[in-house]
Amino acid sequence: MTQTSPAPGSPDPVYLDHNATTPVDVDVLAAMLPFLREEFGNPSSSHPAGRRARAAVETARAEVAALIGAAPDEIVFTSGGTESSNTAIRGAATAREGRRGIVTTAFEHPATEECCRLLERAGHVVRRVAPQSDGRVLAADVITSLDDATALVTVIHAQNEIGTLQPVAEIARAARARGVWIHADAAQSLGKVPVDVEALGVDLLTIAGHKLYAPKGIGALYIRRGVALPPLLAGAGQEHGRRAGTENVAFMVGLGAACRIAAARLEQDAARMRVLAAGLLARLRDTVPGLILVGDPDARLPNTLNVLFPGVSGRLLLEACPGVLASTGSACHAGSEAPSAVLLALGFAPEIALGAVRLSLGRATTEADVAAAADHLAAAWRTLREPAAPAPRLSGALS
């Protein structure tokens, strides 16, 4: 059972920021609670409490593996998506002796882009492939960037701001044929669309728990058998020597439960959110002339709309719209506002890109939520677009 949205008419705002984070599913919380209370054993202990904790961790590992079509021993638990991507990217760059090239895209999540910048400063060569105006990279552009010095290709599976799906499988076939490892960041796509490591052909895959109704602070990295990465952390031999540190049993159990739930309801959730997102877009287009949908209209996450409101700042729009909780891609520093680098990479002019709002639906989103959100957003847009009325003249005032 998933937490529900506020009832229609409730003063609570409509939450449309599920790409930022999701609520912890109540069944996930129920699975975790025993390991936060009475089942507190250390999985490395040999007594019964430790063995029960170890069994819970291995059950969770199998549940994560099952969602992505992997074997349990290919799953390493981490603290979240950032650690997973760092382990994959920095580890691959270190492990591939004689190969110092990285190929990526120009609109990756910071967990990937900052790793690539770090490697550049250390002397690695990073090639960034620009996306097309529809928010997707061409596989051919990535493939032509490969050479014999390339250690790794790292590509986001679903772009986190605009939701477009990237041609990972096509890229992977060419990369692996040349002996190049491929890493995909699936933090945003897992639980929303099918993610199968064999179908994608990836060697490494990032998972973030809080994007699919597990807690923050837990994630996983898929490492294909035969791919040897140096550990990011030095310490004891947990996670078969691949990630040191006493296991966070409760959160691992939570991620496993979240993956089991996602597998059971993936198809129905995707279909329902696709319908709701289409309805939200239609309502906004009806009430906001000139609204632009960013990215490919079909090759995208079913729950995600990145839309450009004409003539206004997306940040100011959301500030004027307390009835909706959503995100923009802009950054605000010292009173100035900069448009999303992702939208600039797609070719949007800065003044247009500043109108971006990302609306991301979740399992609990209802038709009533969609209707209310569309009304709130359109009303806020009209308010910002209308010129301020002149102040009334005071009677008897001197002319």
Amino acid at 302: P
- DSSP letters along 208-234, please? EGGGTTS-TT-EEEEE-TT-----SS-
Amino acid at 45: S
| 84, two tokens | 């997973």
Specify which residues 386 forms β-bridges with: none
In the chain the beta strands, taken as DSSP E runs, fall at 14-15, 75-78, 101-105, 125-129, 150-156, 181-185, 204-208, 219-223, 292-293, 304-308, 324-325, 331-333, 336-338, 356-360
Query: From the CB of residue 334, how many other CB atoms can be counted at a distance below 10 Å?
Result: 4
Q: What is the Cα 8 distance to its own chain's centre?
A: 28
3-state secondary structure labels for all residues of 272-308: HHHHHHHHHHHHHHHHCCCCEECCCCCCECCCEEEEE
Residue 226 dihedral angles phi and psi, to the nearest 5°: 95, -15
Report the alpha-carbon distance of residue 96 to residue 231 in Å, rounded: 14
Report the alpha-carbon distance of residue 313 to residue 28 in Å, rounded: 38
Please say if 321 is a catalytic residue.
no
**Strands laid side by side in the 304-308 sheet:** 292-293, 304-308, 356-360
| Entry field: residues in the chain | 399
Report the alpha-carbon distance of residue 253 to residue 84 in Å, rounded: 18
* Residues 335 and 25: beta-carbon distance below 8 Å: no
Amino acid at 274: R
Catalytic residues: 332
